[in-house]
A and B are shown apart, each in its own frame.
Chain A
């Protein structure tokens, strides 16, 4: 399908991931003075967010991302986010990582489905980028990287026709097909039904460029209007006020893609009950593909370089739990339906010498350049740990 889809998929899913991580880190954070060695503080949260965003918007990474290419498989993409989530001192257990990915994907699926015009997917992406810029507003270096990507996004997509955008949207919808995981915040807001399907409203503003349904006009051979009739339906549509802005700064108008989480609205997922359709879809993914590892290509390897920074020793101190308790997380891991397992693939760097040299060079360039804040005791311990590796 469309070879221009991956940047949009990656940036929007990444944006949702950051919203969720930010909310969970805030929920679990303790004021700096009172925190024990293994508890989260505000400083830690900001560092984790900065590290992940720096990695996401790495120049080489973005260059690779924006190349014309097919979408990755679900497995391959999940591995990329696995690496991304571990780009800092934070650790996530499998169950929390699964839940994080479920939430990210269902949120973006919802946004793609409800976009009034296919072109509005770009507005959704800009909403995510606006929020990401806000996360790093105190770090001019990272802010610059995000702005660069902003520019590249506008350059790549603003000239595409509506038909091409619809093709991109259709490609995304195929990627999200058959995913019906129920998300608590969606169920509460009544945007998702108990069967996991999203509610599609038949009221509200029509897309920019569309007329409110109802009018029929008929013309004679000379082009004069000779008859006018109206029809009505259960729908209750209105004309939109204005179009969202595609500029670097501006009112996007569209709310899709803005942060819907807050500390007071925690998120839970429920595995969809009926597994018949899921099973048939999962089978297609599991079918052996001899070139599956090739698929987990440059992008994942690029991120793979950051594994080097993993702190040794006990990891529980830096662990983030996406569930309310450790017991809940354990239970989720044990009861996750087989067909919903992501089967993350372990990647080893290729043995080919030419590739290795290139990789080493790039891995070297991926060191996070920003000086680490030395104020927190935990930070110093971490650096000491890494020195010892």
Chain B
């Protein structure tokens, strides 16, 4: 169903971090950009669709005031807003926001150490553009910072701090399709496995909270009111965003899931895990019963690789990209 295409070489290897691959495909342009966190730096590469031309860039994690210990990045993602695209990097020290090509840093937010308990690790993690106007970023203390992004310029401010999680945030996802009434348009996930569904706006409102089930939720996606969540025990679970009800449970992987992605035009779901497998699934809603359905489409074994990043490269899900721990390349797959 999918076959392997030409890989893209990275200047440095990918780190074993959740959701460690981001893809940007500016509309109407062939040029696709990829980014993967190496550790203290981020590898950025822009490729033409035929994979012949490449442009590389490295962005460094910003050090704190005293450059005593190196800072490590935890995640990087492009945030697409109606007026602009920003590249957001999260680290142990704070949050860096760049123009989409990584050329200029437009904003820096240092993490407040005081907000964390003494024995707790300090870092930011979990990035999503939301509500056409905001960028939400999670922290290790469970807070979600909501940044108000102006159409242009550097006047970015923190408009709200969401305080519903008690464990480190792992991932944040905005609604990619059409949310049914009352379903909310943002979901946040944490280390304990708790999921919160929100409605974005001047003030964010908590709509439902799915309690932790003893397993980390490392990756989450929201589509047409369905929450797709990937867990440390290898399961994918689908929940109704509006009510928090469990609609499907998949024993998908034999190891910790590290990445999920969704193709909004078809409802295809991509999952990547430490077990070396990448799976493509299809989500749908039965029009009569309104039951949520999920079927398996394709399995890809990335030999001897612990997958840490997986993304669709187009909105239909006809192609996807994968990277893994210690790998200095991005594998690409396309519909045969």
Contact = CB atoms under 8 A, between A and B. Distances in A.
A198 B170 CA distance: 28
B55 interface: no
A173 to B, nearest CB: 4
A277 B328 contact: yes
A169 B192 contact: no
Interface string A168-203: 011001100110100000000000010001111010
25 contacts: A1-B72, A1-B92, A70-B69, A163-B168, A166-B216, A166-B256, A177-B39, A200-B303, A202-B275, A202-B276, A206-B234, A206-B254, A207-B255, A210-B233, A212-B254, A214-B251, A219-B245, A219-B248, A227-B293, A229-B295, A233-B277, A233-B279, A234-B299, A289-B67, A294-B68
B262 interface: no
A199 B326 contact: no
B306 A163 contact: no
Interface string A207-226: 10111111111111101001
A237 interface: yes
B192 A161 contact: yes
Contacts of B40: 284
The residue in B67, B247, B254 that gathers the most chain A C-beta atoms within 10 A of its C-beta is B254
B40 to A, nearest CB: 7
Nearest to A235: B254
B17 A170 contact: yes
Most chain A CB within 10 A, of B39, B119, B301, is at B39
A281 interface: yes
A167 B240 CA distance: 29
B167 A163 contact: yes
Interface of A: 1-3, 68, 70, 113, 116, 118, 161-164, 166-167, 169-170, 173-174, 177-178, 180, 193, 197-200, 202, 206-207, 209-221, 223, 226-227, 229, 231, 233-235, 237, 277, 280-281, 284, 289, 291, 294
Chain B CB within 10 Å, residue with most, of A180, A231, A277, A280 = A231
Nearest to B167: A163
Given A177-B13, A277-B328, 11 more contacts: A162-B215, A163-B191, A174-B39, A202-B275, A206-B234, A207-B233, A210-B233, A211-B233, A211-B235, A211-B251, A280-B11
Interface string B212-253: 000110000000000000001111000010000111111111
Contact of A197 (B191, B232, B254, B326): B326
A162 B39 contact: no
Contacts of A235: 254, 275, 277, 301
B295 A213 contact: no
A213 B245 contact: no
B73 to A, nearest CB: 10
Contacts of A174: 15-16, 39, 72
Nearest to A237: B254
A217 B293 CA distance: 9
Given A163-B167, A178-B326, A211-B234, A226 B119 contact: no
A113 B324 CA distance: 12
A284 B247 CA distance: 48
Contact of A216 (B255, B277, B296): B296
B121 interface: yes
Given A193-B304, A218-B247, A200 B276 contact: yes
A10 B234 CA distance: 30
Nearest to B170: A163
Interface residues of B, number: 62
A223 B243 CA distance: 12
B192 A163 contact: yes
A218 B13 contact: no
Contacts of A193: 304
Contacts of B292: 218
A94 to B, nearest CB: 27
Interface in B60-84: 67-69, 72
A348 B296 CA distance: 62
- Where chain A touches its partner, the secondary structure class is loop
B318 to A, nearest CB: 21
B291 interface: yes
| Interface of chain B, main secondary structure | loop
A115 B235 CA distance: 18
Nearest to B216: A163
B331 interface: no
Interface string B159-178: 00000000110100000000
Contact of B248 (A166, A210, A217, A289): A217
A218 B254 contact: no
Interface string B283-325: 0000001111111100101011110000000000000000001
A319 to B, nearest CB: 35
B199 interface: no
B12 interface: yes
A116 B245 contact: no
B232 A166 contact: yes
A212 B251 contact: yes
Nearest to A112: B16
Q: Among A169, A207, A209, A218, which residue has the most Cβ atoms of chain B within 10 A?
A: A218
A281 B247 CA distance: 46
Nearest to A281: B12
Contacts of B328: 277
Given A70-B69, A212-B254, A178 B13 contact: yes
- List of 5 A-B pairs having minimum Cβ-Cβ separation, nearest first: A163-B191, A231-B296, A211-B251, A163-B216, A173-B16
Contacts of A202: 254, 275-277, 301
Nearest to A277: B328
Contacts of A219: 245-249, 291
A11 to B, nearest CB: 20
A233 B232 contact: no
Nearest to B236: A216
A277 B11 CA distance: 8
A139 B167 CA distance: 44
A262 B247 CA distance: 53
A98 B315 CA distance: 50
A198 B304 contact: yes
